[in-house]
Amino acid sequence: MVANVNAQWVDGNLVFVDAAGNTILTFDAVNHKLIFDANKQETIAAIATADAAAAAGEAPTKAEFDPVVALANANKAKINAVLAALKSAGIIAS
């Protein structure tokens, strides 16, 4: 059987490489970090939608409820972006 992933020590760090020798991830011993291959990393911006506020009365008005809906939709979009990035990096299954 041929291994698709190999490990090697580079400058005191444990580096995992694929069969072609491309770095997949590195355990950075000095900085105590796990560094994934930069070619697989995604940049996902923070959620810019304003925080929702509590309703002034017992039942929220449309003006009070609409920001809650906007925030929930923004959260859903970011969660889906994170899941897509994890899938494309091969960290989770599709």
Given the DSSP bridges, would you call strands 13-18 and 5-10 parallel, antiparallel or unpaired? antiparallel
Q: Which residues contact 67 (CB under 8 A, 6 or more apart)?
A: 49, 50, 52, 53
For every one of its 94 residues, what pLDDT tens digit does the chain have, with 9 covering 90 and above?
Answer: 567 888 989 999 999 988 888 888 899 888 888 887 766 667 788 899 999 889 999 999 999 999 999 999 999 999 999 998 888 877 778 7
DSSP reduced 3-state for 76: helix
